[in-house]
Structure 1
Amino acid sequence: MTNCHRLRCLLALLLGATSAPLFAVGPAEQSTRAAIARVQRIDPSIHAVLAIEPTAIAQARTIDAGGVRGPLVGQPVLIKDNIEVAGLLPTTAGSLALIDNVTGRDAPLIARLRQAGAVILGKTNLSEWANIRSTNSISGWSAVGGQTRNPHALDRDPCGSSSGSGAAVAAGIVDLAIGTETDGSITCPAALNGIVGFKPTVGLVSRTHIVPISTSQDTAGPMTRTVLQAAQLLSAIAGTDPADPATKNADAHRADYAAGLTADALHGMRIGVMRFASGFGTDGPFEAALAVLRAQGATLVEIKAFDDKAIGPGEHVVLMTEFKAGLNAYLATTPPQVVTRTLAAVIAFNTAHAVQELSLFGQDTFIEADKSTGLDDPTYLKARATSLAAAGVNGIDRLLKADRLDALVGPTMPPAWKIDAVNGDQSAGGGAGSLAAVAGYPHLTVPMGAVKGLPVGLSFIGAKWDDAKILSLGYAYEQASHALVAPRFVPSIEQVPPVAQMLMPQR
């Protein structure tokens, strides 16, 4: 097996990545060495980083020598481990079944990052198979990487599936990371870890050489400390890819998203307030966020109710059908040493390695998906049409049109719940991310404060291809609110003031 995973296999050390250099180093190498040092110092407490890219220092030296120029020049970026990066590291999706998946390919978005001057620093942990394996899963857990922890409270869930990318940025290891989302997998971990996350319009960023779930809903996107950084990262990775038909119009909509950011973008905007999306515990920060929007010149329009019952059942059928078709097609392109060539083979692998793979939760969703009958199934086609219309034309589009709105806002998710190895994820519910996910429309989450020390995010959602507008609205809010919460790495919120005192008898 190619065991280039976890920090015990930090191949960069073998290349002298952290040893003292024998000559003066340039800014890219300094930044890269500093990031590697932060991985070594911080990551053992949160398990966000699977491996350092062995060529990271060499990349930085090439940049410093003048071989690469671009808007991200010399900046280290961490990559979710369902995205292929050329080199020695496998692309595992967190599963032992893909531990030998060293493809030697750069996903197109990785190639774009290199062209922009970024240093590909390494791979981040994720919810195994991007959280599609079981309905009783634990977000942030994979057999390859173990359990990623929330740096704000180490017993709290980092959300998934881009848990490692979210936790690494929140912990200060890097400022820039790439996540992927099918439904909430960028925006939820961004919100729960207290950072910025942007799910672009589906089709703006290539999905080629990314382990798939859904061709209808999958996209990669930025996870960063600031909206400006997210805009810079999106500007680098957006664009048409001939191998991904969904991106055929991407070049027509691609922009310099950072150049379009303005601090007064909210002035004169009509913003729909999604009360129906309010998550447990978010009322206080949400009201404070709405006050900021008003103060910045936005007109707020209340949307007290929305019937989303038609979305979930249809989406489930879509994901089950597209996952099997997409994964089988992806696995067929992997190197010969990858023995799992179909979803059925992955299910068999997990059964054969049940101690490592199935001790915490099963693979019921895998088994269900494997029973799907293909992309020509009338049930699938109807489900996709129904869910897409409910979230898009009859969802976001209708809400925007009815009140002449520019965007929608709501709490992204409730505060982080506890990691629960017995019952799986126990979210208190709430949030409106599924609307944007199923429709394929842009969704930005920006920090809006904290609940008892746990960060929560404010979501900005817009129409298809409104990526630039949504980023600018979120930027204006961010500049006015200053709601970023620094992580404390406490063992538990219940052990620190003021919560600890309130758990004691009050008489």
Structure 2
Amino acid sequence: MQKISLLAASALLTIAPTMAMPPPLPPVEGKDAATLQAEMASGTLYDSLLTTLYLDRISKIDDHGPELNAVIATFLSVEREAKLLYGERHAGKLRGPLHGIPILLKDNIEAKGALPTTAGSLALKDNVTGRDAPLVARLRDAGAVILGKTNLSEWANIRSNNSTSGWSAIGGLTKNPHALDRNTCGSSAGSAAAVAASLAPLAIGTETDGSITCPAGVNGIVGFKPTVGLVSRTHIVPISHSQDTAGPMTLTVRDAALVMTVIAGSDPTDLATAEADARKVDYTAALSPDALKGKRIGVLRDRIGDRADIAALFDAALKQMTALGATVVEIADSRKGLEELGAAEFEVLMTELKADMATYLAGLPSKDGPKTLADLIAFNKANPAELQWFDQSLFELAESKGGLDSPAYVTARDKAARLAGPEGIDRLMKEHNVDLLVGVTNGPAWTSDLVNGDHYTGPSASQLPAVAGYPHLTVPMGTVQGLPIGVSFIGGKWTDAEVLAAGYAYEQASRKRVSPTYRVGVAP
């Protein structure tokens, strides 16, 4: 990993000889992109120095000190890119609200440069493709600085049911900055931990089912899973074309909306995004403290778990929403008629994993390396470091599945989509006459245990919107013994702007995000 010291920071100021020496730089800890942009606009902070500050913070907190293991590596070119962006700013050319803002990418997303895209696996340790995923190209065009790659649950947590979230053979185990012995959830573990620890103000994660929202909730930040088809998946290591999407992980809802405004859009190589250009909007335009006024909110009461402390946080959040003008509608039977959803989703994921992984691997520029799921299975068997903590039983199950034309898959695909969408979220919203659904995103982070794997037992709001492909936003709701809990906002297809606006209104009134303590163990 590149390690940059602030000892060289003053030298960077020589690129602006006509400007006066600025006052001492403010810290970046806890600052969102909108705040940093305002400081750069005022001249109290410079694009090039901002990037150096984050590189130094990664060295001090991620590589040393608490050693979070959230960032796998940074690009060697980032300071040069930041200088160029500063030059544009000084010349009066701003590309947009992300101009000069560093952002981290989950390491299943391709980006030009010397860093490989590994999905956390040694099988892809040399996967330097020399190409930007379309969402990364959009970020660059908007002036964002692609800082580096974040650790993840290997293969986005689809290799084994016995895995430990946040661990990969490439990056090791990512720690939760709120309690270092606690898990980060996954699979976008490094992206969430990095933003929570202010290793960058922004990160991109990916989700198939809960992989943005759970780590965001557990690490106490904002995470947004958009409507599937709003953001291109091209050049992203896949699991399921039915459910995969990328999305922002940020400190604030406004920052999530800023990122979505940049990355949303159609991509001719991803057919799912055909409607994206027609559907995308400026997602910051609808943000208002009054966005919940007059809204009817359906409460997923039967999905919050049985912990009294979490229920108390949730009830306080609902009270806050009521005070903002929302009408709360209790839904006691949100699971009714959906008993077969889990099995149908699992069949879809296993079948699509085999097919979609083969398509991705076969399309890599290098002729070397694995080209099928069977190749990955063989690689893992030949490399003990891959299987040292957990098996590859899900890979092996997926390999046994038929193709995308198999009757079992087609039946499961149609059933899963119907149960989660028309007979799930759509039905609940129509029957209860509500504008959106709310629930508890996550339980408190569990202790990481590489020997025994994950033991997450808390509530989860991810499955319905994940399978339906509908938007899902998590916002900090408070803490239990110092461990963050999120509240989820879920809407219908293409209602991304409305979901973000609702979460923004709650966030502005509640202000429940807390800074990480980097302690070991929970708060007394």
Q: Normalized against structure 2, the TM-score is what?
A: 0.90
1:205-259 per-residue CA deviation (whole Å, 9 max, x = no partner) reads 0000000000000000000000000000000000000000000000111010012
Contact 1:158–1:167 (CA under 8 A) maintained in structure 2 = yes
Q: Counterpart of 1:503?
A: none
Q: Distance in 1 between matches of 2:15 and 2:137?
A: 28
Q: Distance in 2 between matches of 1:125 and 1:17?
A: 28
Instruction: Output aligned runs, 1:100-499, within 5 Å.
Output: 100-281=126-307, 282-307=310-335, 308-336=338-366, 338-354=368-384, 356-493=385-522, 496=523, 498=524
SS at match of 1:222: strand
Q: Distance in 2 between matches of 1:40 and 1:245?
A: 40
Contact 1:261–1:475 (CA under 8 A) maintained in structure 2 = yes
Q: Counterpart of 2:108?
A: 82
Q: Distance in 2 between matches of 1:74 and 1:389?
A: 43
SS at match of 1:328: helix
Contact 1:140–1:161 (CA under 8 A) maintained in structure 2 = yes
Selected match of 2:79 from 29, 32, 57 = 57
Deviation at 1:337, TM superposition (A): 5.8
SS at match of 1:29: helix
Deviation at 1:280, TM superposition (A): 4.9
Deviation at 1:39, TM superposition (A): 0.5
Task: Identify if the C-alpha distance between structure 1 residues 381 and 19 changes in structure 2 by more than 3 Å, giving closer, same or farther.
Answer: farther
Instruction: Output aligned runs, 1:87-102, within 5 Å.
Output: 87-102=113-128
Task: Identify if the C-alpha distance between structure 1 residues 343 and 258 changes in structure 2 by more than 3 Å, giving closer, same or farther.
Answer: same
Q: Does 1:23 align with 2:14?
A: yes
Contact 2:477–2:487 (CA under 8 A) maintained in structure 1 = yes
Contact 2:206–2:212 (CA under 8 A) maintained in structure 1 = yes
Deviation at 1:491, TM superposition (A): 1.1
User: Structure 2 regions of 5+ residues with no counterpart?
Assistant: 17-44
Q: Does 1:43 align with 2:62?
A: yes
User: Structure 1 regions of 5+ residues with no counterpart?
Assistant: 1-6, 499-507
Q: Does 1:70 align with 2:96?
A: yes
Q: Distance in 1 between matches of 2:115 and 2:70?
A: 16
Task: Identify if the C-alpha distance between structure 1 residues 18 and 359 changes in structure 2 by more than 3 Å, giving closer, same or farther.
Answer: farther
Q: How many residues align?
A: 484
SS at match of 1:88: coil
Contact 2:116–2:125 (CA under 8 A) maintained in structure 1 = yes
Contact 2:4–2:55 (CA under 8 A) maintained in structure 1 = no
Q: Distance in 2 between matches of 1:251 and 1:218?
A: 19
SS at match of 2:447: coil
Task: Identify if the C-alpha distance between structure 1 residues 335 and 280 changes in structure 2 by more than 3 Å, giving closer, same or farther.
Answer: farther
1:174-224 per-residue CA deviation (whole Å, 9 max, x = no partner) reads 111000000000000000000000000000000000000000000000000
Contact 1:17–1:57 (CA under 8 A) maintained in structure 2 = no
SS at match of 1:166: helix
Q: Distance in 2 between matches of 1:117 and 1:264?
A: 31
Contact 1:63–1:69 (CA under 8 A) maintained in structure 2 = no
Q: Distance in 2 between matches of 1:138 and 1:20?
A: 43
Query: Which residue identity does 1:431 align to in structure 2?
Result: S
Q: Distance in 2 between matches of 1:241 and 1:147?
A: 34
Q: Distance in 2 between matches of 1:77 and 1:317?
A: 35
Q: Which runs of 4+ in 1 moved over 4 A?
A: 16-20
Query: Which residue identity does 1:56 align to in structure 2?
Result: V
Contact 2:266–2:276 (CA under 8 A) maintained in structure 1 = yes
Q: Distance in 1 between matches of 2:439 and 2:52?
A: 39
Contact 1:412–1:432 (CA under 8 A) maintained in structure 2 = yes
Pairwise CA RMSD: 1.5
Deviation at 1:21, TM superposition (A): 3.5
Q: Distance in 1 between matches of 2:321 and 2:263?
A: 29
Deviation at 1:70, TM superposition (A): 2.0
Q: Counterpart of 2:21?
A: none
Deviation at 1:22, TM superposition (A): 7.2
Task: Identify if the C-alpha distance between structure 1 residues 18 and 121 changes in structure 2 by more than 3 Å, giving closer, same or farther.
Answer: farther
Contact 2:4–2:52 (CA under 8 A) maintained in structure 1 = no
Query: Which residue identity does 1:435 align to in structure 2?
Result: L
Query: Which residue identity does 1:374 align to in structure 2?
Result: G
SS at match of 2:111: coil
Contact 1:279–1:413 (CA under 8 A) maintained in structure 2 = no
SS at match of 1:23: helix
